């Protein structure tokens, strides 16, 4: 596994995820006030579409800049999932149990961490961006779950 991905996962491992949910400690994002709101946002079609669009943009840019690297995309994703799936489950286990969070919550976090790792894997081809921003919020104890205005020029929505 790419050393940069190992470093990224180590940084995420050390962070106390969800320790500051609901705390309005930033002006850089819209901060929600409940898990219900956060789940509503992360399960919205707009958020799912934006996350998918950003992942598609990443893969398109990689294809444009290095077809040789792009053809390994699926193999890398499959390999990464062997690490990211159990990692995320372990990191979210207590918050899921404590707050009775639905499967869509886990799916969202799984997608975020896998996409972050893909951004990191291809950082030498395309600068990381959207999902690296998500990692910032996880390490700060928040849950990134939406985007104000639905465009990359807006503000993140976090819990």
pTM of the predicted structure, to 2 decimals: 0.94
Cα(64)–Cα(82) distance, rounded to whole angstroms? 28
> What is the rounded average pLDDT of the residues 12-19?
98
pLDDT for the residue 149: 81
Question: What are the φ and ψ backbone dihedral angles of 153, each rounded to 5 degrees?
Answer: -90, 0
Cα(85)–Cα(78) distance, rounded to whole angstroms? 11
For the cut 60, the answer to whether the pLDDT of residue 150 exceeds it is no
Interacting residues of 26 by C-beta distance below 8 A, sequence separation 6+: 140, 158
> What is the rounded average pLDDT of the residues 133-143?
97
Q: Where are the domains of the chain?
A: 3-9+35-158
Q: Over pLDDT 90: what percentage of the chain?
A: 96
């Amino acid at each position: 596994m790419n050393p940069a991905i190992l470093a990224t996962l180590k940084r995420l491992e050390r962070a106390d995820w969800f320790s500051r949910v609901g705390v309005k400690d930033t002006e850089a994002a819209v901060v929600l006030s409940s898990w219900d709101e956060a789940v509503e946002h992360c399960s919205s079609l707009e958020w799912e579409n934006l996350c998918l669009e950003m992942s598609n943009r990443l893969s398109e840019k990689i294809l444009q800049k290095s077809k040789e690297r792009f053809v390994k995309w699926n193999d890398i994703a499959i390999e990464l999932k062997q690490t990211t799936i159990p990692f995320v489950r372990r990191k979210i286990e207590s918050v899921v149990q404590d707050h009775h969070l639905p499967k869509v919550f886990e799916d969202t976090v799984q997608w975020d961490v896998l996409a972050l790792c893909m951004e990191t894997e291809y950082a030498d081809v395309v600068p990381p961006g959207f999902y690296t921003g998500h990692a910032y919020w996880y390490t700060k104890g928040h849950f990134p779950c939406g985007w104000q205005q639905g465009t990359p020029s807006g503000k993140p929505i976090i819990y």
